[in-house]
Amino acid sequence: MTNRIRYPKPLQKGDAIAVTAPSSGVEANLHSILKKAKQNVEDQGYRIVEGETIWTEVKAASSTKEKRAEELMGFLLDDRIKAILPPWGGEFLMEILPLMDWEELKKAPPKWVLGYSDISTFLFSYTLLTGTATAHGTNFFDLSSPGWDELSKRWIDVLSLEKGQTIVQHSSSNYQSSWEKAFNNQGTGFDLDTPTEWKVAGDKKEAEFSGRLIGGCQDTLSILLGTPFAPVKKYIKDFAEEGGIWYLESCDMAASGIYRSLWQMKQAGWFENTKGVLIGRPANYKPAKDFELEDALERIFADMNIPVVYDMDIGHMPPQNILVNGAVGTVKVSDGKGTLEMVFD
């Protein structure tokens, strides 16, 4: 197999990090949070370059799709910028995908993009269309906290990794069960109030598996099915030898919506040659009568005879591990705790 993942150069102290909003921008009353995040990241030894889009929010987006695409493309092609951290997710990132010059991005040096929620829409397509590794994890807004939690702060370690190196991350001790306290006390950090337990679907207490990582926010990735921006089948074929690990999390889906989305992905062949599945803690979740998340996972994956780990540190119920699309991952889970090892092969 000649196709390989393109890993961006390791992030180094003094490097410039761009903050741009390809989905939602930030309202004026929250600009102070952006300034706190900027100060915190600069205190770690990096330079922050702020895009124009981060300061505005109109009609559920930072700007027009054309402006958002232009600013993101500009930073991706700017040799002075070494990484891109959007402020947070949003609703309509998919609008910019047809406006990106994917052929130009294939030729350009690979560059780190880090984020989650709607940002995973871009991460997913950027990896699949150009072969560039992307990082799913904490957003820039969350870095406004005066003290970063043990999982979130690993973004620096992951983006600083050399090709050929390995990094190990662990499950959290506690997670945030509600955003209420964090929203009422902006910039003070997460309220990690509930014990974390990584669970294995079925009757199993342990799981161990390896494969090449791919995934993101289920709410937004599912809309890419059938479009030119999700060549999943090619990715599966290119890396058939290693097999894949899917990681997925949801923001606004009930159990029924999660099931329908997983069913659609399965019918489209997205789970072919999958070695295991990682499911993040679902946000704004509710069952469909007596139908729960566990029922959805059972119906989709039971006949595939693969391990499925859920309630993981991924997505909208922080803290979260940093997962790299394209990296080879090894997951080990035992008695509610676990590790995620990644190698930049």
Q: Which residues are catalytic?
A: 117, 249, 316
The span from the CA of 257 to the CA of 250, in Å, is 9
Structure tokens at 315: 């997505």
Listed in sequence order, the residues at least 6 apart from 256 whose beta carbon sits closer than 8 Å to its beta carbon are 288, 291
- CA 261, 262, 267, 271 dihedral sign is positive
Q: Collapsing DSSP states into helix, strand and coil, what is residue 225?
A: coil
Q: Collapsing DSSP states into helix, strand and coil, what is residue 180?
A: helix
Q: Tokens 């949070």 identify what position?
A: 33
Q: Is the peptide bond before 195 cis (omega within 30 degrees of 0)?
A: no
- Name the strand (E) or helix (H) holding 204: none
128, 134 in Cβ contact below 8 A?
no
- Cβ of 189: how many Cβ atoms within 10 Å? 19
